[in-house]
Structure 1
Amino acid sequence: MKHLTDIKALDQASIHLLFDLADSIRSTPVATTRSWHAGRSAAALFFENSTRTLCSFQMACQRLGVDVTALNIAHSSTQKGESLRDTLLTLAAMQPDLFIVRHPENQIQQRMIDWLPPHIGMINAGDGTHQHPTQGLLDLYTISQHKTDWASLKVTLIGDIKHSRVANSLIDGLKIMGTQQIQLYAPDALIPVALKHRNAPNLPAALEGADVVVMLRIQKERLPLDLDVDFATWHASYGLNSETLSWAKSDAIVLHPGPMNRGIEISDAVADGPQSVILEQVTNGVLIRQALIHHLLSQS
């Protein structure tokens, strides 16, 4: 494997391999892992804002000994009219081993691969409303630390499903792992047509018997201008709080990819409560990205 642009490119065996690598990295001193890829380099190109993903990729690279350069797009030559292809080829001429790219256009990373020399790898750090494969992997990894039988799980995703690349990657990943009970809950306008059969009739039905609850923010930056979402009343119909969480199983875990809008999709009591694994997701994000980068660079 040279690139990862879509989680559907993986199978159960490759996902378990990455989980095992993450487990191994967790127990290996950073002083050791920093020697694994000393002298290798990566370029991070983020054309959209990011906190967790960008920082975790940077830390993952650094902890593997990979020199990482994060291009400040706002101060790059793209602001002078340079094309994306020319920007990419310019950076490729500096001979990095890996590109890590976030971009608002769907499937742009696959096009970028066609522009690059064959020895340079590509990781999709999020493309439009399409895929966010490393987020899907870290979510699966976090779930695996608390739940063991993928086939019996009920996983519920609540929020803006239609515009969420996180939802797409997690749903695809759950299917790969053998999970059948994937329940969604959102207004009809925020559910893709292909997934409407999974939309629950109401919030209690969505949460009843859930082992895993994944809360998603409303993607304000991607909503059509003519779509009116009432943020003031969203929590009453779609929010997770102590009362609504009680409808799920007593040992259910709560995930959120961030950034959280507290008081809208999730309450403080749940976000900071004993069933929340949100900060575990952040920790696991560095480990999974280390595992992926290590695996990709070890192939070349």
Structure 2
Amino acid sequence: MTQQLDSDGRLRHLLTLDGLPKEILCRLLDRAGQIRDTALGRTQRRHSLDGATVCTLFFEPSTRTRSSFQIAAQRLGADVLNFDASTSSTRKGETARDTLRNLEAMGVRGFVVRHAEDGAVEALAGEAGEGTAVINAGDGRSAHPTQGLLDVLTLRQAKGADFSKLKVLMVGDVNHSRVARSDLHALRTLGAGEIRVCGPQALLPQDDTLHGCVVGDDFDAMLEGVDAVMMLRLQRERMEEGLVASLQDYHDHYGLTAQRLTRAASDAVVLHPGPINRGVEITDEVADGPQSLVLRQVSNGVAIRMAVLETLLG
């Protein structure tokens, strides 16, 4: 996707990790690591975005992503405008394009956009004026690039920068997950040694999303010797579509328990993008246990989003 890079190869928008040069990806990870203390409020906030206004333009609900982008922008000195589609002129028929154009006219330079439709954020980026940056905060099932970045940052902090020897297992509803796609793009770019994907056949994509991955539906077998387990949220609406028999059946086959986790490497780590369905895809004992990096993922989200905003707008 060339639209997110300018003619000099610099990042103009962040729309996807698919095809993002490794150099740029690693630079964002490095920057996030450098400013993590500021992200967590342990050091004085930066002023690299003083005078800039960032709008969180969300057409879908969000807790972690929206909150962490807001904190990230404020830590950099920017003003933040929170746009809620449910109370805006979009309910009167205004298009997303016109919404963006009107906010641009008010001096907004950065747009963090979440949308239910695949490709909607890319389309908005195509309408953005010179000097305006658009960041994809999740569109349809296509991409969630900052989540992918924070996931591999968390993994890198735990396992080091060399991914070539890592065995990473992704579990659950990959077919409907934009997080899974961005994680897979990032893991491939960073040269992960082996990527395993496990889930019910009905929840695994049938296109080329899983190219190069070891794919299976036997969770216990796939766990053997892995260095990291990336659990995905079971989207309960899939039960209504008949893709999952029941929550209990899903947990029995694909729920991560402390006993199951013993099949992984002794120092294996557990990640989950949230929100967690406790007792379905993961038990309390694992989610809150010593191998869980779930809360570190959340805190890394602020640092990654600071690095992205600073890179695009600073």
TM-score (norm 2): 0.90
Query: 1:1-300, aligned counterparts within 5 Å?
Result: 1-28=11-38, 32-148=44-160, 149-193=162-206, 194=208, 195=210, 198-221=214-237, 225-298=241-314
Cα distance in 1 between the residues matched to 2:243 and 2:203: 10
Q: Is the 8 A contact 2:239 2:246 kept in 1?
A: no
Aligned residues: 298
DSSP 3-state at the match of 2:195: strand
Q: Is the 8 A contact 2:271 2:292 kept in 1?
A: yes
- What amino acid maps onto 2:195 in structure 1? I
- What amino acid maps onto 2:204 in structure 1? I
For residue 219 of structure 1, report the CA deviation from its aligned partner.
2.1
For residue 30 of structure 1, report the CA deviation from its aligned partner.
6.6
Deviation string 1:59-114 (CA, Å, 9 cap, x unpaired) is 00000001111111111111112222222222121121110000011111111112
Q: Is the 8 A contact 1:25 1:33 kept in 2?
A: no
- What amino acid maps onto 1:150 in structure 2? F
For residue 32 of structure 1, report the CA deviation from its aligned partner.
4.3
Cα distance in 1 between the residues matched to 2:51 and 2:288: 40
* Structure 1 residues 226 and 264: CA distance shift in structure 2, 3 A: closer
Higher mean alpha-carbon deviation, 271-280 vs 29-38, is at 29-38
| Structure 2 spans left out of the alignment, 5+ residues | 1-10
Cα distance in 2 between the residues matched to 1:37 and 1:201: 47
Cα distance in 1 between the residues matched to 2:95 and 2:169: 41
TM-score (norm 1): 0.94
Deviation string 1:194-252 (CA, Å, 9 cap, x unpaired) is 33863224112211011000111112357773535421221100000101111101100
- The sequence identity of aligned pairs, in percent, is 46
Two-structure CA RMSD over aligned residues (Å): 1.7
